[in-house]
Every structure is written in structure tokens, then in C-alpha cells.
Amino acid sequence: MTAKHTNRLAREKSPYLLQHAHNPVDWFAWNAEAFAKARAGNKPIFLSIGYSTCHWCHVMERETFEDEAVGKFLGEHFISIKVDREERPDVDKIYMTFVQSTTGGGGWPLNVFLTPDLKPFFGGTYFPPEPRHGRPSFLELLEQIRDVWQQRHGEVLDSAAEIHARLEAATASAAAGDVALTPDAIREAGQGFKRMFGPRHGGFGGAPKFPQPSIPSFLLRYAKRFDDAEAAEMVLRTCDAMAAGGIHDQLGGGFARYAVDAAWLVPHFEKMLYDNAQLAQLYLDAFLVSGDARHAAVVRDILDYVLRDMTHPDGGLYSAEDADSEGHEGKFYCWTHDELAKLLSPEEFIVAANHFGITKEGNFVDHSHPTPLSGQNVLSVVVPNISAVDQPLLAAAKAKMLAVRANRIRPHLDDKILASWNGLMLGAFARAAVVLDEERYRAAAEKNVAFIRKKLWDKKSKTLFHRWRDGERDEVQLLEAYAFQLSGVVELYEAVLEPKHLDFAIALAEAMVEKFYDAANGGFWQSAAGSTDLILRVKDDYDGAEPSGNSVATLALLRLAAITGREDFRRAAEATLRLFAARLEKFPQALPFMLHALDFWAGEPRRVVVAGAPDSAPARELVRAAHSVYQPNQVVLGHAGAVEQFARTLPAGGTALAYLCTGRACQPPTGDPAELRRMLQ
């Protein structure tokens, strides 16, 4: 069957844009052709931003953008542009800031009306196809916007200019204030997060409930610094509750983006690479703090899911999996009582139904679908303690369920490969490889960084591009691509001590500082200088579901400075901390990942220098020992290559030796991994 309509988006690589390639809307991508056409015809721009695994984006497409009348009206009176927010977070940030400041809310799909010079004048999120709750239908809204554009044109332009001036002022680069950088902000933030803790279900907020790994992982740092066992216990309880919840895919591994309820039970089923990367890091921290093998098992569960379902054959990592399949949210993941009773033996069913809380009524209804499926059960761990007799029955039941699920119609896979999110997961694979002693995770990390260097890094110009898909890369440069990659490559170097990885980290850091750093005021711009398609240059100052580029860049530069002795890296990081010091003090929940950087900065980091061939068995055992103790404010380095000068002077002797150093002083070296662990503790 051929599509009735095909528009320009059929030429694009973004899976989200390709989902709209057969709408009756005359869509453009975000490019000069669209802007020129708007200027030539003096037409307002209708900008619609989303991503390919966005549930309400699917709903609005089905209801509205597949409507012939809507497509015809948009074509006559507007220039319509689609943007994938995951490819262009810099574009999304500008217009999301506008919508949040004018409506008090935000989200996706993000729908904004712009002048031909890209200045916003009206916007919102989801608009219904029919009038609801006193709000117009989308077509009625379009008619109103057209009338205002034609009849009050001057007022619209004046309003857009005024809004733009306000946005420019709100996002302008302020210089660092007079708030001093001290560990006091760490203490205050930690106490504030403790007050947010939900004792019943864990976590640090109400429904809908996002894991926000930056917060619990910061609290573990806080607990270490201030010897606060209660804070650490809050994090471990949160980790246990999330792992038992429906937000965690109990059969296939990995975590969904968030839970719609406070108990982590019913997820919004989409799975994002960036969430799973951060959660793998959190559970590695939890494992080192608790020593509980269950936390290590969750790390393996996440990473094995990514290796199985989210990895390109050449080593790049895909972006996301959708919530929907066959038009229903969660259909791929849910089970009915009768379905399981038929699939499993009576003994297996009793154990599995008890363990996962299976009922005839179910625990999930997809309210976004006109005809919801009945009796759907999201799997969660209701009875965790399974007897030794019943464990083989549960294992057999899970194997049967996974085999059946594998034959269901899978949710859509967003198979674009982003340098930013790959950097986050690269760090998780690298660290898990050494903490858990898993060679396959090390191999995955090495293969991933090789993919990024081949497909998205231009060594000659020191340029890192953002997206690769279907044989092509984009031309976009973003701070988060450089910062997240830098973080991941530094973690890979610390896990394997391979000098070529340190060289790559230094090249990334130098390019990032050159292209994005504001030398006058501190901080990093989200986009490179000279971007012609942006009305504002913004410094991202919010760590939400993803950490901001500023926060990740700051911590990565501090770690790299400790490894290499490069004062220029340390100065850029410290100036960024100073720029955001007032925000860290007054509104720390906005920047929990930058608190990680502040914690690292607030003392002289310890350096574990492993002298000896890094690929020798004794050296690897010492590196493993160095990573086996929870010490977030230490770095691990070799004694060769571009490391700091003092490390290069340490004698290696005939075998591998580890030196534990602070400043210019080191403790006597040891070749015994157990002794090194004792020294670190």
C-alpha cells in the first residue's frame, strides 16, 4: 500500500521526522529553506517539536496532523516545521523556555508559532482535535492565529520583539556573583534532599515519579563527606524500591522513563538510553556502598538489555524504545491473568503470580486509547523472597514469558546514535567493566568509543558532531555532545589506563573549551558560536532527566585536570562553578549534578597512580582494587602518556605498583590489591 502523501521529511534521517513524512502537512525540517520561504511569503511559522518515542506526540499526529483539513489550512497560511528535540536540544531549549515562561508549563509535543525571523509569539503543548474544557480545537486555534497575523500584524511583531528581548535578558550571561564556593552548599543541599525523601516508597518527589539519578547519587556523595548513614540508607531504599517496581522491566531489563504513580508501579513505558546510563551508574554506587549483590545484578540487568536491544552492530548505541506497540501503551510489556495461566504450568503460575502480583483485574489501564485493553498487569516484585524450592519455578516461568514476549510486536526503536547519550552510557560500561570485572562491558566500551571516533569525530578540525544514523552524520555541534563524551572517555581511561583514551579526552576538552566556553563570565554555551539558526545563545542551567552540559563539563574537566595537571581545565571548571554558585546555594534541586562537581572541587582529590604496563594482569588487579571502594573524589591514572608530571616520576620497578597520592605526597607503594583496598578505606 502506497502512502497518499509524502512530504519533505521523507528525505530526513531523524526517526521522529520520518514518522511525519506521510502527513498531509507540508512539513519542512529546521533549515534555511523553510526560513526563506516564511520570509518571502511573510507567513508565520508553525514549529512543532517532539521525539520519536513521545506518546502524546503520537496522539497528536494521529488526531491532528493526519487530518486533511488541518494539512490544507497549515499549507495555505503557515510554514510548518518539525524538529526532533533529541537531535536539536538547543532549538528546543529556546522555545521551551518561551512556553514555560508564558504558560507556566511545558512538555512535548511542543507547538509554537513564530515570526519569519524565528521569534515566538504564541505556544503550548498538546492541542486537542475538538474543543475541550473551554479550549479551542487545533483548527480553531490556527484560524485565530491566522486572523491575528493578518489583522493585527504590527502588534504581533511588536509583541514578538518584546518577548525576544525578555528571553534574551533572562538567558543573558550573568557574571559570577559574590557567593563564595564552599562545602556549605553541599551540606545544605544534602539536608534539603533528605527532607524531600518519601519514606514509604523511596524517591525524592511525588507522582509522576522520575528516578532523577543525579539526586540520589549526590546524596551518596553527601553521606560520604558528612558521614551521614541515614542519607545513604535513603538512597539504598530508593534503589530497592525502583528495582522492585514496574518502572523496571522485570523480564527484559532496563528502566522506563518514569512512573505515573508514587509507588514506582505503573511506568510510562518508553525506555531512554540516557536514563539507563545514569541508573547503571547509580546502582554501581549503591553496590559499592552496600556491598549488596542485588545492586550489582541491576547494573548487569541494565547493561545486558542495552547490549541486546539497543546496540548497533558496529558498537554505537541507539537512543530509545517507544511506550506504544500496536497503538496501545504498554501492550508489549503487560500480561493478563488468563494469558499467564495458559502459558505456565500450574506450579509455575502460582509462584509467578504471587511474585509479580498478577490479578484478574490487572493494575494498568491505557487511558489514552479509545478502547483500552482489559485486565493488564504491569510486572512488579510484590513478594521478593522466593524459597529455594520455588526459585527454579520462577526462573522457568520468566524464561517462558520472555520467549513469548520476544515474539510480540516490539515498540518502535529510535535507532539514531547521539554522541551525547552514547557518552553517558560509555562511562557506565567502562566503570561497570572494572567494578564488576566484566570483560564484555569493557569490550562494549572500547567498541563504542571507536564507533564515535570513526563516525562523529573529525580529528583534523577537532569537531564532534551530534547524530549518526543510516550511514550519515549531521552538522550539529552541541555542548552536551562534547561534555558527555568527555565524561565517558575519562571514565574509560580510568578503567583501562590506555594512553590513547587520555589523548582523546584531552582533545575533546580542548575543543569544548575553545568552542563553547565563555572566558569572560565562566560557564559554557549550549551551542557553538556562529549558529545562524538560533535567536539566542543559552547556558543550560538545569539538571533534569538529563544532566546539563555545564554540570557534566565541570565535573569532567575537574577529573581530567586532576589526571593531567592541566590548570587551564581546572580554571574553566572553577569559573563555571562560580557562575552558578548563587543558584547552587538558593535552588540546589535545579543543579544536582553540578553539586557532584562542587563536591569534587571542595577538597584535594586523591590520585591512585598505577605504575606498570596497564594491560598486565597485576596492573589490572590494582586498577580493579582502586575502583572497588566508594571514593567519588579520587581519580585513577597510569604513569605514562599525558598524565600529570609527578605521576610520570614515580618508579614502576619490576612489577605493577600502586601509589596513593594527595598533592605532592604519596604513601609507600603496594603491589597487593587487598592492601590498596585497605589504604583506600
Share of the chain above pLDDT 70, in %: 98
| Phi, psi torsion values for 135, nearest 5 degrees | -100, 145
**What is the distance between the alpha carbons of residues 532 and 35, in angstroms, rounded to a whole number?**
11
Q: Please check the confidence at residue 2 and state whether its pLDDT lies above 60.
A: no
Give the three-class secondary structure for 481.
helix
- Lookup result for grid cell 562560580: 578
- Other Cβ atoms less than 10 A from the Cβ of 358: the count is 21
pLDDT of residue 303: 98
Largest interatomic CA distance in the chain: 85
Distances 226 to 232, 281, 542, 561, 631 between C-alpha atoms, Å: 11, 21, 25, 25, 13
Q: How many CB atoms lie within 10 A of CB 663?
A: 10
- How confident is the prediction for the chain on average, in pLDDT? 94
- Report which of 408, 415, 367 is spatially closest to residue 251, judged by C-alpha positions: 408
What is the grid cell recorded at 537?
545563545
Q: Is the pLDDT of residue 1 over 50?
A: no
**3 state SS of 534:** coil
* Cα separation, 217 vs 550, whole angstroms: 18
Position 20 pLDDT exceeds 90: yes
Question: Do the bridges between strand 271-272 and strand 267-268 make them parallel or antiparallel, or are there none, so unpaired?
Answer: unpaired
Is a pLDDT exceeding 90 seen at residue 447? yes
CATH superfamily, domain 8-171, is Glutaredoxin (3.40.30.10)
28 has a pLDDT exceeding 80: yes
Instruction: Report the percent of the chain where pLDDT is more than 90.
Output: 88
Q: Give the residue extent of every domain in the chain.
A: 8-171, 184-323+415-603, 325-410, 607-680
Q: Is the pLDDT of residue 173 over 80?
A: no
Task: Report pLDDT for 595.
Answer: 97
Which of 258-262, 528-532, 674-678 is the least confident region? 528-532
Amino acid identity at 191: Q
pLDDT digits (tens, 9 = 90+) for 408-438: 999 999 999 999 999 999 999 999 999 999 9
Q: How far apart are CA 273 and CA 317, in angstroms?
A: 8
C-alpha torsion sign, points 574, 575, 580, 581? positive
> Cβ-count burial of 584 within 10 angstroms (0-12 exposed, 13-18 middle, 19+ buried)?
buried
**If you search the block for the grid coordinates 524504545, which residue do you land on?**
321
User: What's the pLDDT at 327?
Assistant: 86
For the stretch 271-326, pLDDT in tens is 999 999 999 999 999 999 999 999 999 999 999 999 999 999 999 999 999 998 88
Can you tell me the mean pLDDT for 237-256? Answer: 98
As a 3-state breakdown, the chain gives helix, strand, coil percent values, each rounded to 5, of 50, 10, 40
| Residues 673, 619 contacting (CB under 8 angstroms) | no
Residue 503 burial (C-beta neighbours within 10 Å; 0-12, 13-18, 19+): middle
Nearest partner of 170 among 655, 499, 530, 536, judged by Cα: 536
Residue 174 confidence (pLDDT): 66
Phi-psi region of 476 (alpha: psi -120 to 50; beta: other; left: phi over 0): beta
220, 271, 210, 206: which is closest to 51 by C-alpha? 271
Residue 328 clears pLDDT 70, i.e. is over it: yes
Run of H or E residues at 608: strand 606-611
pLDDT higher than 50, residue 115:
yes
Terminal Cα distance for the chain, rounded? 66
CATH topology for 184-323+415-603 is Glycosyltransferase (1.50.10)
